[in-house]
Structure 1
C-alpha cells in the first residue's frame, strides 16, 4: 500500500477516535465529583500518551525529519493495521458506551457512580486500555517508521504502568468486595488468556 494512503487511514482513524470521546466528555462535565484523585503526574502521563499517538505521527506526516527511521512492511501488514484500527475504534466506542455516566478521563468517582460489569466489561476490566493498545499496534503497522510507528507504544506503556494500579485501588476503595470479586473473574486487558 502507498505510504500516503496508510497515513491518511491513520489520520482518519485518529479523527474518529477523538470524535468518539466528545459526547462522553459532555456527559462527564454534568456529573458531580465525589472522589478526585487527579495529580500532576496523571496530567503528564496523559500528555505523554498524546505525544506518542498524535504529535509524533503529526511530525512524521508534515516534515521529513523522521524519514531516516522508515522501514518497509509487506502489504498484508497494512491490511492487518486497518483491521486492528477498526477493532480498536469499536472497542473504544463500546467501552465509553458501556460506562456511560461512570466514564471519566481522569481518576475520579462521580456521584451515583456504579461498578460497570456488563458489555465489554464482562470479561475485560480495562477495555479502554485494550483499545489504546490495539491503536498502538495499528500505528506500528500503518506508519512504517521506527519513531512515529512505535511512539504510541511508549506513551501507552508509561500510562499503563503508572495508572492502572491506581485506578484499580480507587475502585477497590469505593466498591470493596464487589470490585474484588469482579477482579477475580476478569482479565485486565485480554480476555481468556492466562
Structure 2
C-alpha cells in the first residue's frame, strides 16, 4: 500500500471515529451527571491524548512540516494497519452502541446509569480502551513518521494507566459486587 493510500485510509477511519463519537455525545446532552470525577490531571492527559490522536496526525498528513521524521516500512504493513484500524473502529462503535447512554468521555456517572455486561462487554472488560490501543498501533503502521505516526501510542499510555484505575474505582463505588463479578 502506498504512503498516500495509507494516509487516505487513516483519514477515512479518523472521520468515521469522529462521526461515531459526535453522534453518541449528542445523545448525552440531555443526561444529568450524578457523579463527576474529572480531575485537572485527567483533563490535561485527555488534551495530551487528543494532541497525539488528532492534531499531530492531521498536521502530518496535510503539511510537510514533520517530514524530517519519516521512516519506511514494507508496503504490506499498510494493509495490516488498515485491518487493525478497521477492527478498532468496529470495536469503538460496538462499545458505544452497547453502552448507549451509559457512556461518557470523562469520568462521570449519569442519572439512571446502569452496568453494561452484554454485547462486547460480555467478552472484553474495556473494549473502548482496546479499540484505542488498536488505533494507536494502526496509526503507527499507516503513518510512517516517528512523531505523528507514534504520537497516539505515546500520548495514550499515561492517560490509560491513570484512567483505568480511576474508572475501576468509580464503577466499584457505584455498582459494588455487581461490577466486581
Q: What TM-score bracket applies, with the shorter chain setting the length?
A: over 0.9
Task: Output the CA distance in 2 between the equivalents of 1:134 and 1:29.
Answer: 28
Structure 1 counterpart of 2:90? 90
How far the C-alpha of 1:177 sits from its partner, in A, is: 0.8
SS across alignment from 1:34:
strand
Give the 4+ runs in structure 1 shifted more than 2 A. Answer: 62-65
Q: CA deviation at 1:23?
A: 2.0
Q: Write the distance in 1 (CA, Å) between the matches of 2:53 and 2:101.
A: 26
User: Which residue does the alignment assign to 1:145?
Assistant: 145
CA–CA distance in 1 between the matches of 2:63 and 2:130? 30
Partners of 2:91 and 2:128 within 8 A in 1:
yes
Q: Which runs of 5+ in 2 are unaligned?
A: none
Q: What is the CA-CA distance between 1:21 and the residue it aligns to?
A: 1.2
1:115-166, Cα deviation, whole Å (9 max, x unpaired)? 1011111121110011011111110000011111110001110110111100
Distance 1:86 1:51 in 2: 21
Match of residue 113 from structure 1: 113
Mapped to 1, the partners of 2:4 and 2:79 lie a distance apart of: 14
Q: TM-score, normalised by structure 2?
A: 0.96
Counterpart of 1:60?
60
Q: Equivalent residue of 1:29, what SS?
A: coil
1:39 equivalent in structure 2 = 39
Deviation at 1:63, TM superposition (A): 2.6
Match of 2:175 in 1: 175
Q: TM-score, normalised by structure 1?
A: 0.90
Map 1:21-40 → 2, pairs under 5 A: 21-40=21-40
**What SS is found at the alignment partner of 1:64?**
coil
The structural deviation recorded for 1:79 is 0.4
Give the C-alpha shift of residue 64 in structure 1. Answer: 2.2
Q: Deviations 1:5-58 (Å, cap 9, x if unpaired)?
A: 111111111110000112211121111111111122221111111100111112
Find the aligned partners of 1:75 and 1:23 in 2 and give their Cα distance. Answer: 34
Partner in structure 1 of residue 128 of structure 2? 128
Moved more, 147-156 or 60-69: 60-69
**C-alpha RMSD of the superposition:** 1.0
- Structure 1: 5+ residue runs without aligned partners? 182-194
How many residues align? The count is: 181
